[in-house]
């Protein structure tokens, strides 16, 4: 089936709505992540010096990198180049990986490649994760996905799944039949790791088992508890409209980040387990890493700071790193491996 283009004005309007609404508190599933129920155990005698603490992880057995990464947010519209360039520059400085916004537009508009070509040229050392929705993947040839990877020289490719959002979106494409087959085909033929990611509604244990053995490199559970895309799409509809009312019904739909992470870790999987969804501090990230996550993604705190410019973003990302290091130090952990081995967390 051929991928057809989308009205450029409608696309631009939707992406602008997404950024505006994502910053509103009513669009946040505050408290639903389960992070409040996880407590790190304080160590009064760490027996290490703070300068010994190292937070780097190895990404897909590659060179060391921060365990914190920027989750996919926005791309392909007016203003996104400057915003993404700001994020990429700070990622390069601080050795963070960066998930890009959906590359869907590049499938039908070759001029959209220029955004990432420009950013890649300006930031040659950043580890980018490409990004496409499973609804688009089903209808796209692997060679076309490979072109998206090549545009970025991406380290890996994210395939995001967002059934609730697609149902709520006025222009949505809730066509998911054949998704697992398409995902397996991509994972086994792309030549780069494939990361499967929800968009804030999390994963059940049953779904995570279905992802085992099909060749994916990582699963980002992206649980309920942060920005809720069902609420955002409902917020794009006029008050009183059908989708606006339906979105209110589903405002608390999803599986929390902590519950999703626990389910993922219970599966004896052949993929790495990553976590995102409601992460608002370095301490939140430390909790997820202590539980067993390999990488932790952040979105809302990043875009809030990025809108203030490169310096503001650098300060925010530096704060997140410091919070993470303090959490390690105060549990007596020199690195992430020790944080996980000591089992320094408990449920409240």
pLDDT at 159: 98
- Mapped onto helix, strand or coil, the DSSP state of residue 171 is coil
User: Whole-prediction pTM value?
Assistant: 0.93
Residue length, the chain?
348
Q: Mind giving me the DSSP string for 212-272?
A: TTS--SEEE---BTSB-HHHHHHHHSPTTSHHHHHHHHTTT-S-BHHHHHHHHHHS--SSE
Tokens, residue 187: 């994972």
pLDDT at 15: 64
Closest CA to 176 of 136, 209, 143, 144: 136
Specify whether the CB–CB gap between 305 and 299 falls below 8 A: no
Q: What torsion, rounded to 10 degrees, do the Cα atoms 136, 22, 217, 121 define?
A: 80
Rounded alpha-carbon distances, angstroms, from residue 330 to 272, 318, 334: 26, 18, 10
Residues ≥6 apart with Cβ < 8 Å to 26 = 231, 235
Q: Distance between CA 333 and CA 325 in Å, rounded?
A: 9
Domains of the chain, earliest start first: 32-347 (3.20.20.70)
pLDDT at 76: 55
Pairing, β 296-298 against β 68-70: parallel
Residue pLDDT tens, the chain, 348 long: 344 555 566 656 666 666 776 777 887 887 899 999 999 999 999 999 999 999 999 999 788 999 999 998 875 555 678 999 999 999 999 999 999 998 998 998 888 888 888 999 999 999 999 999 999 999 999 999 999 999 999 999 999 999 999 999 988 899 999 999 999 999 999 999 999 999 999 999 999 999 999 999 999 999 999 989 889 988 888 788 899 999 999 999 999 999 999 999 999 899 999 999 999 999 999 999 999 999 999 999 999 999 999 999 999 999 999 999 999 999 999 999 999 999 999 998
């Amino acid at each position: 089936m051929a991928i057809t283009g989308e009205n450029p004005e409608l696309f631009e309007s939707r992406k602008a709505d997404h950024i505006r609404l994502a910053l509103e508190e009513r669009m946040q599933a505050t408290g639903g992540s389960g992070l409040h129920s996880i407590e790190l155990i304080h160590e009064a005698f760490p027996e290490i010096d703070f300068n010994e603490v190292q937070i780097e992880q190895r990404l897909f057995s590659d060179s060391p990198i921060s365990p914190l990464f920027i989750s996919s947010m926005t791309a392909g519209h007016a203003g996104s180049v400057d915003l993404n360039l700001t994020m990429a520059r700070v990622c390069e400085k601080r050795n963070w990986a960066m998930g890009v916004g959906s590359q869907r537009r590049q499938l039908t508009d070759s001029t959209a490649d220029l955004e990432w070509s420009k950013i890649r040229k300006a930031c040659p050392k950043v580890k980018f994760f490409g990004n496409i929705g499973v609804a688009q993947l089903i209808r796209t040839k692997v060679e076309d996905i490979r072109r998206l990877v090549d545009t970025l020289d991406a380290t890996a490719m994210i395939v995001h799944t967002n059934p609730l959002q697609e149902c709520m979106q006025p222009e949505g494409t809730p066509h998911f039949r054949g998704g697992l087959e398409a995902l397996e085909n991509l994972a086994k033929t792309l030549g780069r790791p494939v990361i499967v990611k929800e968009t804030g509604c999390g994963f059940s244990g049953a779904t995570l088992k279905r992802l085992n053995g099909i060749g994916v490199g990582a699963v980002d559970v992206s649980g309920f508890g942060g920005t809720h895309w069902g609420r955002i799409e409902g917020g794009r509809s006029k008050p009183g409209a059908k989708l606006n009312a339906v979105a209110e019904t589903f405002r608390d739909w999803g599986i929390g980040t902590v519950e999703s992470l626990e389910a993922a870790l219970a599966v004896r999987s052949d993929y790495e387990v990553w976590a995102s969804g409601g992460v608002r501090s370095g301490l939140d990230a430390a909790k997820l890493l202590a539980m067993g996550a390999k990488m932790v993604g952040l979105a809302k705190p990043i875009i809030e700071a990025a809108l203030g410019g490169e310096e503001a973003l650098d300060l925010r990302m530096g704060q997140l790193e410091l919070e993470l290091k303090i959490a390690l130090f105060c549990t007596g952990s020199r690195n992430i491996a020790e944080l996980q081995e000591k089992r320094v967390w408990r449920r409240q």
